[in-house]
């Protein structure tokens, strides 16, 4: 399963990260978080919260870039 790496993100700054995230990567992340002792629901909330924060900061970053 291909994973998105920091070097990939740095090389493709204009690409929307969420267009390239696969369902398998989300499930892998959920299983990884769940494996650290959280319940299924807690792990899913962690994934959803992380995605929401990434989207919020991505929007603020792009807004900041266009203001300059």
Band of residue 1 on the pLDDT scale cut at 50, 70, 90: very low
d(CA 36, CA 27): 14
In percent, the amount of the chain with pLDDT more than 70 equals 57
The whole-number pLDDT of residue 17 equals 55
Q: pLDDT tens across 12-28, in order? A: 555 555 567 789 999 99
CA distances from 14 to 11, 45, 63, 65, 67 (A): 9, 28, 13, 12, 17
Cα Dmax for the chain: 44
Higher pLDDT, 5 or 40: 40
Question: Is the model's pTM score more than 0.75?
Answer: no
Contacts of 25 (CB under 8 A, 6+ apart): 1, 3, 4
């Amino acid at each position: 399963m291909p994973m998105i790496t920091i070097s990939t993100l740095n090389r493709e700054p204009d690409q929307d990260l969420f267009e390239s995230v696969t369902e398998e990567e989300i499930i892998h992340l959920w299983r990884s978080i769940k494996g650290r002792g959280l319940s299924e629901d807690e792990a899913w909330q962690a994934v959803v919260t992380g995605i929401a924060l990434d989207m919020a900061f991505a929007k603020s970053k792009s807004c900041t870039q266009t203001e300059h």
